A = this chain, B = another copy of it.
Amino acid sequence: MPDTQEFRDEYARLSELTERGLAEVFPTTEGDPAARVIEAARYSLLAGGKRIRPVLALSVAQMLGCPLGEALPYACAVEMIHTYSLVHDDLPCMDDDDLRRGRPTCHRIYGEGMAVLAGDALLNLAFETLSAAALDTAKGTRSIPGGVEGALTAMKEIADAAGHRGMIGGQAMDIAGEGLGMTNERLVEMHRRKTGALLRAPALAAARLSGAAPGVLDAVDRFASALGLAFQIKDDILDVTAEAGNLGKTPGKDAEAGKTTFVTAHGLPAATEMLAEESRRAVGALEELDSLGYDVEFLKDLVRYQLERGR
């Protein structure tokens, strides 16, 4: 982590804002006969985690002048989508994982059927949240620089990033491609969809909410796309270098499953160099935004933080 106190404080502030937002999305379960699925969804959603996706959404919104409170529902929705994908990914019929964010996975506690439903509930809740926010904007009770078109464009781009063209498509490639070996082109495409799309979406969504001009949108897009790829390369590196206690999930699983990763495809030194290259690309896009007068310090630190993170 970049050792500036400002960065650490700001990251903490934005991730705590997210935690509070996420804690409020579920109603009280008292007397609700469907309480168990809500508990299962809440168990996974409030298990901590880095919250890098909502922090990205909030920090880009802040940079571009969209009030944080207005961007928060979008930030939370992306984190719900990310969490549902983990819950389903951990199922025995998928990656079959017992450990996630340092705790037993959802299905280990609540059973497989309930974990399927909890994941479904989180995905659905993301769109309940997005619809409610956009409706408030249409009614004028939630005011964002990008207006109702910005709100709906953000929602549509988040949906596209999460769907078969994005994350779900990447997961499908992952399942279909296990153990078969993959060309580098295919590997990059898989990760662009599986991980990259849902890291790019919160940054882009924040730009839409902010009513950003095309040139700004484009720079945010290049920044977030490079950061997303760097994030996945870093994950692949951590899968072979980190310890379980530190990682919060089972390390070495990808290698064991015979999956193609940036490390198995290129080796650790080349993967490390690719990570540095994508991080430089991300910083380059930020420098363009800097030259347009935006305050990019936190996002620059975020790139370095992700480059150096130990979990």
Give the docked Cα–Cα distance between A37 and B88 (Å).
15
Are A94 and B116 closer than 8 Å at their CB atoms? yes
Check if A91 is an interface residue, CB within 8 A of chain B.
yes
Complex partner residue of A88 from B120, B139, B190, CB under 8 angstroms: B120
A247 at the interface (CB under 8 A from B): no
Query: Contact at A124–B163, with CB atoms within 8 Å?
Result: yes
A63 within 8 A of B: no
Tell me if A286 counts as interface (CB < 8 A to partner B).
no
- A163 to B128, Cβ gap below 8 A? yes
Q: Which secondary structure dominates where chain A touches chain B?
A: helix
Mark interface residues in A91-134 (1 if CB within 8 Å of B CB, else 0). 10110000000000000000111101101110111011011101
Task: Name which residue of chain B comes closest to A34, CB basis.
Answer: B169
Query: Which of A34, A116, A135, A153 has the largest number of chain B CB atoms within 10 A?
Result: A34
Contact bitstring A159-198, B, C-beta under 8 A = 1, else 0: 1101111001111110111000000001001100100000
Within 8 Å by CB of A34, from B125, B128, B172, lies: B172
Interface residue ranges, A against B (CB under 8 Å): 26-27, 32-34, 36-38, 41, 84-85, 88, 91, 93-94, 111-114, 116-117, 119-121, 123-125, 127-128, 130-132, 134-135, 138-139, 148-149, 152-153, 155-156, 159-160, 162-165, 168-173, 175-177, 186, 189-190, 193
